[in-house]
Amino acid sequence: MEAEERLRELIADRDKEIAELRAENEKLGKAMFDDVKIINDVCVERDVFKAENERLKAGGPPGAWHCDECNFFLGTTVIDVAGGRMGTPLVEEVPTCGNGCGLMRRETWMEYRKGVGATIKRLHEFCEEREAEADRLKEGIHEGEQQRHLILAQVATAASMCTGVLSPPPAVDSTADRLIKVEALLSSLVKAHR
């Protein structure tokens, strides 16, 4: 009997191990299915990217036209305000130059890239100039604040000296000495304020 019981326990343990292995196998199968799906999505994206790359190699940026005579640039963009979309017309006629030079040609990607690069450089320089100007203005404000605090301190000193002039003089200073000090302080205030 004991042997049968032991055999049943071994069979139960084996069944439990088999159930765990099946569950793990199902998880791995699902993970493999998810991986295959991701790989398929990446392949589709790659194919779309390749098609777009080939389309872009065929010509310049859509809607970008250039005049060789006067260097005029024309961008033809259709804006759909109601739909919130923007794009270029599917069929484009070759436009004439706005300066009357004649027909324009499609701009190449290299020209477009150089133009965008020059614009970025100009904007970067503009931002640096504005930052330097802001720093100069901040410095001027700081200097103005320091000057204001100095004048306020001088006014407070003059006010305290005036109070001393009007009150009974101490034995050490004469009234004439105080008046001379107040006049000197007031003249320095006037000079500093100019």
pLDDT tens column, 113-166 = 888 889 899 999 998 998 888 888 888 777 777 777 777 777 777 666 665 544
State CA 21 to chain mean position distance: 53
Contacts of 192 (CB under 8 A, 6+ apart): 147, 150, 151, 154
**pLDDT grade, residue 111 (50/70/90)?**
confident
Is residue 154 a contact partner of residue 189, using CB atoms and an 8 Å limit? yes
pLDDT at residue 169 tops 50: no
Q: Residues 13-66: pLDDT tens digits? A: 888 888 887 788 777 777 777 777 777 777 778 877 777 776 666 567 778 888
The mean pLDDT of 85-94, rounded to a whole number, is 70
Q: Which residue has the higher pLDDT, 100 or 21?
A: 100
In eight-state DSSP terms, residue 172 is S
Residue 99: what pLDDT?
92
**Can you give the pLDDT at residue 190?**
67
Instruction: Using pLDDT thresholds of 50, 70 and 90, give the confidence band for residue 174.
Output: low
Query: E strand or H helix at 117, and its extent?
Result: helix 109-166
Residue 15 confidence (pLDDT): 82
pTM of the model: 0.38
Query: How far from chain centre, in Å, is Cα 38?
Result: 33
Give the per-residue pLDDT at 159: 66
Q: What is the pLDDT of residue 20?
A: 82
Residue 180 has pLDDT above 80, yes or no: no
